[in-house]
Amino acid sequence: MSAERPDILIIMSDQHTARIMRCAGDEVVDTPNMDALAAAGTRFSAAQTVCPLCVPSRCAFMTGRLPSATGVFSNNAIMPSELATLAHSAGAAGYDTVLCGRMHFSGQDQRHGFARRIMGDFTPCIQGRSGTLRDDLGPYVCTPAGDWDKHIGGGDSPVLAYDRAVVEAACAELERDHDRPLLLVVGTYGPHHTFVAPEALYQKYKQRVGMPCPSDQCDMIPYDRGHVDGRPLDADKVRDIRAAYYGMVEQMDNHLGTLRTAWDAATARRQRPAVLAYTSDHGEQAGERGLWGKVTFFAESLGVPLLIAGTDIVAGAVCDRPVSLLDLAATICDWAGFAAGRWPQLGAGLARRGLTSADGDRRAVARGTIRPRHHHRTLGLLVCRGPRGGDADRSAQ
């Protein structure tokens, strides 16, 4: 990396599975901006979430610690304010640290080290204001959560409106002058359900999408198989949900293009080195194996896109070694000039050459616990990277 510390833009969507990008091999979806970013930089084809659930994943990304260290395993957990975050570290290194949009912080602390937060979150920051109490969502109440199949199709939704507002606020921030290096983290709620895409995109993908792989043709553990028939959906509804999800992915791609245009203009004006990364907190099953949402350790839920381009980043490269959001956290510290070695659990910096860790290194990429209903045993799953060429280990206890 250049001796001058770069401006850094991190764009984190919610629930975007890594496989649904044209540059990742999906021939149905149109993602020209993600493809262009991948061509301009490096795509990490085996990037993984730290935990396939929003709050634990984001807490791990922000702190550089596994859920087993933060104690944050559910979306009802509150990230302790005493935990240092990458925003604290970048701020200590002299950066102007700005959060715009979603990071799913719960509790009173809504910044966790960011000097400024210019756009709040989509979900409530205090317990007791979710579910049916979200009267601000109108007919879409509960559709971002348990009633995700209540409204499906084309049109507008609170999710789409929120993301437009986030992107508008981020672009306005990039028009401002900054007298210090900038770390701007932009979080969208899409393509997380509500499964409503802009009408034109929904109609487009309704003609394109195919059916997912059914559960009876897949290897599955009993916990996952027990959830397949919990909400039976006919073939037409499955196709409609997938069409909406694909449309939301393309909408996210449009947002990425808007943000990148604003970012390029800002960095050209500032004449500074700059790095942009796009990723997501976890994936989406999208009906594969008969499952929807996340909280599985299948590739659709565990895999996330990770595209990085900018100053001194290798262009047109694909790294197929497993990496995680911990590695991205370490890399942000490297870019900011803050010694990541002070964070013993951090992954290795992704580095300019597209590699992640020393040969033979073996550390956790993702970790989580699932407590099946009506059972007293906890199923623990661990995915590791190591000298066996990136093979995924699944262990149960």
Instruction: Quote the CA–CA distance of 307 and 309 in Å, as a whole number.
Output: 7
**Largest interatomic CA distance in the chain:** 59
Higher-pLDDT residue of 225, 244: 244
pLDDT class of 175 with cuts at 50, 70, 90: very high
Closest among 384, 391, 305, 367 to 57, alpha carbons compared: 367
Instruction: Quote the CA–CA distance of 278 and 11 in Å, as a whole number.
Output: 5
Higher-pLDDT residue of 201, 312: 201
Closest among 348, 330, 390 to 64, alpha carbons compared: 330
Task: Determine the 3-state secondary structure of 195 from DSSP.
Answer: coil
In this prediction the pTM is: 0.88
Tokens read off for 142: 């509960």
pLDDT of residue 371: 44
Range from 101-105, 146-150, 183-187 carrying the lowest mean pLDDT: 146-150
Topology classification of domain 7-360:
Alkaline Phosphatase, subunit A (3.40.720)
Instruction: Quote the CA–CA distance of 325 and 280 in Å, as a whole number.
Output: 9
pLDDT class of 123 with cuts at 50, 70, 90: confident
What residues does each domain of the chain span? 7-360
pLDDT class of 1 with cuts at 50, 70, 90: low
Tell me the mean pLDDT in the region 186-196.
96
Task: Determine the 3-state secondary structure of 241 from DSSP.
Answer: helix
The helix or strand, by DSSP H or E, that contains position 256, with its residue range, turns out to be helix 235-270
pLDDT class of 110 with cuts at 50, 70, 90: confident
Amino acid at 169: A
394, pLDDT greater than 50: no
296 touches 215 (CB < 8 A): no
- The region, left, alpha or beta by phi > 0 then psi within -120 to 50, assigned to residue 295 is left
Higher-pLDDT residue of 205, 336: 205
103 touches 84 (CB < 8 A): no
